[in-house]
Amino acid sequence: MIDVPFEASVDALHLAYARKELRPVDVVRAHLNRVLENDLATSGGTRPPFNAIQTIDPRAVDEALSLERTGERGGALYGIPVWLKDTIDVEGLPTTCGNAGLRESIAKTDARLVKNLREQGAIILGKTCLTELGAGPSGFSSAAGRTGNAYDPRNTPGGSSSGSAVAVSLDFGTLAVGIDDCESITTPAAHNGCVGFRPTSGVVDREGLAAFAVSDTSPGPITRSVADAATMLDALVSSDGTSSRKFRNSVADASIDGIRLGVVESVGRFTMAHEECFVSGGGTSLARSLETMRSAGAKVVDKVRLDGFLFERLSELEYHNTFVEHLRRRACAPRTPFGVYVSSLRFRELILREPDSWWRLVPFKLPNIHERAYRKVVIHNRALVTTLMDRLEIDALVGTTSRLLSTIATLAQLPHLTVPAALVHVEETEFVRPPNWHHGTMRPVGISFLGRPGADEDVLRIGAAFERSRGPRVPPPRALAAASASSDVGEIEAFQVAKRAIGEQTSSLCQFDGEVLTRPTWEEFARIVHGAASLTAP
């Protein structure tokens, strides 16, 4: 089998294609083989799997061959393998949203962003796992169970775009698309040593997503470098089939010299110091990163405070209404939110315990009574951030990637980029402990850059400059099995069967203990996966 370099960038693959050293079909097969041999590996049931992939598209190899036959090498992502978060419609594949009840919910057409990727030559490998219905950072779903961190699968991957970040970090594919509502791209990217970019809301088309809110939702790239993120963003926003280099050109020869960065100290009553308690080594990593940027010529403004920031998030009815529309377009059950929620122990119990959530069960769209109030919140927050940055002459806000900074980006509709900063040892404290993080393991820490609304190119340029001054990212420490087998259709089918069995067995062990949902431990999950993978082995 032809050797495909590990962690090859978009530019490196394009160079190999131009020199006829590789073909797209070689690259696709190598990445699918890596998934088949590693995604469900448990070392005999003694360690949890990565479990990053929800569905493999069995047409990927044929699409690569078809692309080669055209003889055209145009497009920003020609021959580049891409994974998609499983809330994005791909014709002929289920859009499960991580929910067991939606396994047969086959999409009739590609989402707009998927069409754009294909027009730029990308090859869609399939769908990645996520936190069920995109709700929270757990990385757990009834459709596939538990996703493990790329650096140590006992640790949390972050969410909700968990599988997209893990897949890219492990080089199951070159690029992935995440969907960010609030930290859903940036947190898993930071937890898995990746670059994650939430563009300004509205930059990437949201048509064809299972559920979204115009106020919150922003699809974006998860990659291993800022240059690849910029290249992918050009493809995601392309609407006429032409190859734009707007974002990629913005990172070319990027320099940190003369850039003014504002270090966020607090936002309203919340402080970054408290946030960094939950990020082992976060404060130290930020200090070292700032010193690196100072040495390269950046100007740092310390103790930036966003006083008066409003934290009212009023977009739930927007999500409900788009989810109702999404389910109505499906040809099979469930076709109402209630049908989806009853198939999930977690959501069924939560709704039953929260009388104020009755509207989630309504099978039709509801008047968005919060629309005007939420618009005022966003306008206020955008003005607050912009005025502060103008007054301090700041090019970007900076801090350890955290929920607080992600919330700022969501509630002010700002571009938010996270870039790997360091690998640190997890030290157990009252804030950092199992089951999310395990003492003595290694975890990545990301640094966030937030810009003015619409200043996506500036944020990417600053992130690229920091990346250049920081040096190459440190990949996951554990070597993967060599990609030596052929990506046989039978192996792909067995993989899909195993995923279904894993989801069913894992969900059956979930229980509500009082007000808390208990899930299988990583040890229990490893045994479940080992058994399911053994039974379905070809």
Q: How many domains does the chain have?
A: 1
| Window from 176-185, 212-221, 358-367, 505-514 with minimum mean pLDDT | 505-514
The pLDDT of 158-169, averaged and rounded, is 97
The pLDDT of 237-263, averaged and rounded, is 89
Tokens of 95: 């859009």
Is 160 a catalytic site residue?
yes
| Window from 65-79, 145-159, 253-267 with minimum mean pLDDT | 65-79
Among 85, 115, 127, 499, which one carries the catalytic annotation?
A: 85
What is the C-alpha separation between 89 and 124, in angstroms, rounded?
A: 12
Is 534 a catalytic site residue?
no
DSSP per-residue letters across 196-236: EEEPSTTSS--TTBSS--TTT-EEEEEESSHHHHHHHHHHH
Among 105, 141, 184, 448, which one carries the catalytic annotation?
A: 184
Does residue 485 have a pLDDT over 50?
no
| Window from 4-13, 178-187, 345-354 with minimum mean pLDDT | 345-354
Tell me if 448 is assigned to some domain.
yes
Tell me if 130 is assigned to some domain.
yes
What is the C-alpha separation between 524 and 518, in angstroms, rounded?
A: 12
What is the C-alpha separation between 408 and 420, in angstroms, rounded?
A: 20
Tell me if 364 is assigned to some domain.
no
Q: What per-residue confidence (pLDDT) applies to 458? A: 97
Nearest to 162 by CA among 136, 129, 211, 126: 129
Does residue 1 have a pLDDT over 60?
no
Does residue 86 have a pLDDT over 60?
yes
Is 85 a catalytic site residue?
yes
| Window from 237-251, 466-480, 505-519 with minimum mean pLDDT | 505-519
Stronger pLDDT, 157 or 519, i.e. the higher one: 157
Q: What per-residue confidence (pLDDT) applies to 23? A: 95
Tell me if 334 is assigned to some domain.
no
Query: Phi and psi dihedrals of 266, rounded to 5?
Result: -155, 155
Q: What angle do CA 286, 396, 285 make, to 5 degrees?
A: 5
What lies within 8 Å, CB to CB, of 112 at 6+ separation is 205, 206, 207, 208, 239
Tell me if 342 is assigned to some domain.
no
The pLDDT of 476-492, averaged and rounded, is 68
Compute the mean pLDDT over every residue in the chain, rounded to the nearest whole number: 92
Model confidence pLDDT, tens digit, residues 95-115: 999 999 999 999 999 999 999
Tell me if 190 is assigned to some domain.
yes
The pLDDT of 383-397, averaged and rounded, is 98
pTM, 2 dp: 0.96
Does residue 291 have a pLDDT over 60?
yes
Tell me if 354 is assigned to some domain.
no
Does residue 344 have a pLDDT over 80?
no
Among 141, 160, 215, 280, which one carries the catalytic annotation?
A: 160
Model confidence pLDDT, tens digit, residues 394-413: 999 999 999 999 999 999 99
pLDDT band at 377 (very low <50, low <70, confident <90, very high): very high
The domain in which residue 220 lies consists of 10-312+373-477+489-536
Tell me if 348 is assigned to some domain.
no
Tokens of 40: 């469900």
Tokens of 233: 């963003």
Does residue 319 have a pLDDT over 80?
yes
Q: What per-residue confidence (pLDDT) applies to 431? A: 85
CATH number of the domain within which 471 lies: 3.90.1300.10
Model confidence pLDDT, tens digit, residues 412-421: 999 999 999 9
